[in-house]
Amino acid sequence: MGNTAKGKHALFISDRSGLQFPYTEMVREWNGSRVHTSEYEPKQPQLEPKPFTADPQGLMHPRPDRLELPTGDFLPINPIGPVENNVGITRSIMNVAQPNSGILVGDYVRLMKIQQPIPIPSPFNNSLSILDIELTATLGADITANDTTLTLTTGIGVPYIPTLIDGGFLMIEKINSTTGLYENEIIQYASRNALPGDTFYGLIRGTNAPFRGQTPNNTTASAHLSGARIFFARKVVALNTTTSPSGGQPSTVTNYNGYQLDFSSGTTVFPSAIGGGNGCIAGPLNVNITDGRA
C-alpha cells in the first residue's frame, strides 16, 4: 500500500454526531470510534475498577498484649491516720493521704512498706503498729483448693480487723518452686471469728479484689501449706476531698486528697495514730511484692 495523504484539506464524518469536521481534528476514543476533539469522552473509570485486596491482618514477629496487674504508688510522708469514728456508722475509719490516686469508694487497698510504727494508745498496745500483723500474718494449717475456711497462725486482735461486718479479701502468697513465679491466690471471705485463732469463713476461692474501679482477672484456687504468708486489703468507704477556686468555669474544682479505709467494727478513735514514715506504698491486694514491709 502506498503512503496516505495527511488530509490537511480533507473532511471526516464523526461516528458519534454524523457531523462533518476537518480531518486533522479527528481523534480516536477508547471504543474505536473516530470523533471530533469537541466530542471526545474518556473511558468511565468504573468500567475498569481497580482490583480489591483485603488489608493484611497478620504481623511479623508479634508480641501478644498482656493484661498487666495494677501497681502500687508511693504515698506522701507520714500518710497514715488518724483513726476516727465514721459518723453515723458503728465502725471506725483510717485516713490515708494519697492525692489524685484514682481510687474509688468500694475499692480494696493494701498498705505496704510501712516504714515506721504507728503508735496505738493504751489499753490496746503501745508498741504495735496498727498494720504490723496484717503485714506478717501466716496460714495456720494446710488448706486445699476447695476449702471454705482457713485459720491464721496468730490472732490479729479486734482493733485491727479489716472489713469485719461485710467480709473482705485476703491474699495467700505462693511462689512456684520450679519457675520461681508468683501464683498468689486472692480469696474473698464472708465472715471472721477473731477468737480463738482468727478463722475466716465462707471463702470464695480464686477471685480478685477491685482497685481503681476495675477488678483484675481472677486468680487460681490452689492448695497452700501452713506458714504461707497472708496479706489483707481494707475497703475504701469514703474519699477525702476539698474544693478550691478554679479561676474559670466551673468556679471551683474538687481536690482528691486521699481516702478513708475501713478500720474496725467498733467506734475506736486514735487521733494520735498518725505516721508511717517516708516510702509507704498503697496499691491493689496482689502486686507480687516479696515483702510487705521495708
Based on the domain organization, do 217 and 121 belong to the same domain? yes
Q: Is residue 171 part of a domain?
A: yes
The whole-number pLDDT of residue 196 equals 57
Based on the domain organization, do 108 and 150 belong to the same domain? yes
- Write out the DSSP string of 97-156: E-TT----TT-EEEEE---S-----TTT-TT--TTTGGGT-BBSS-B-TT-S-EEBSS--
- Write out the DSSP string of 226-257: TT-BEEE-EEEEEEEEEEEE-SSSSSEEEEEE
Q: Is residue 212 part of a domain?
A: yes
- Mean pLDDT within 86-94: 72
What cell numbers appear for 209 in the block? 479484689
Based on the domain organization, do 210 and 269 belong to the same domain? yes
Residue 83 identity (one-letter amino acid): V
Q: Is residue 184 part of a domain?
A: yes
Distance CA 242, CA 47 (A): 69
Return the top range by mean pLDDT from 64-68, 148-152, 154-158.
148-152
What cell numbers appear for 204 in the block? 470464695
Radius of gyration for the alpha carbons in the chain, expressed in angstroms and rounded = 38
pLDDT reading at 258 higher than 50: yes
The whole-number pLDDT of residue 293 equals 37
- Mean pLDDT within 270-287: 85
SS3 160: helix
- Could you report the per-residue pLDDT of 174-198, keeping only the tens digit for each? 988 888 888 899 999 998 876 656 7
Distance CA 234, CA 82 (A): 15
Beta bridge partners, 175, equal 182
Distance CA 47, CA 61 (A): 41
289: which residues sit within 8 A by CB, 6+ positions away? 72, 112, 113, 281
Based on the domain organization, do 85 and 207 belong to the same domain? yes
Based on the domain organization, do 85 and 218 belong to the same domain? yes
- Write out the DSSP string of 7-76: -TT-EEE-TTT--EEEGGGEEE-TTS-EEEGGG--PPPGGGSPPP--PPP---SS------PPP--EEPP
DSSP state of 182: B
- Mean pLDDT within 68-79: 85
- Mean pLDDT within 12-38: 91
Q: Is residue 168 part of a domain?
A: yes
Which is higher by pLDDT, 123 or 10?
A: 10
- Domain total for the chain? 2
SS3 189: strand
Distance CA 176, CA 207 (A): 19
String of b and e for 187-201 (b: at least 16 CB within 10 Å)?
A: bbbeebebeeebbbe
Q: Is residue 148 part of a domain?
A: yes
The whole-number pLDDT of residue 88 equals 62
Q: Is residue 203 part of a domain?
A: yes
What cell numbers appear for 82 in the block? 488518724
- Could you report the per-residue pLDDT of 231-243, keeping only the tens digit for each? 888 899 999 999 9
Q: Domain residues for 17?
A: 11-44
Based on the domain organization, do 28 and 83 belong to the same domain? no
Based on the domain organization, do 26 and 135 belong to the same domain? no
- Mean pLDDT within 74-94: 81
SS3 267: coil
Based on the domain organization, do 136 and 191 belong to the same domain? yes
Based on the domain organization, do 131 and 243 belong to the same domain? yes
Q: Is residue 178 part of a domain?
A: yes
Q: Is residue 134 part of a domain?
A: yes
User: For strand 230-232 and strand 34-36, is the pairing parallel, antiparallel, or unpaired?
Assistant: unpaired
- Mean pLDDT within 96-112: 92
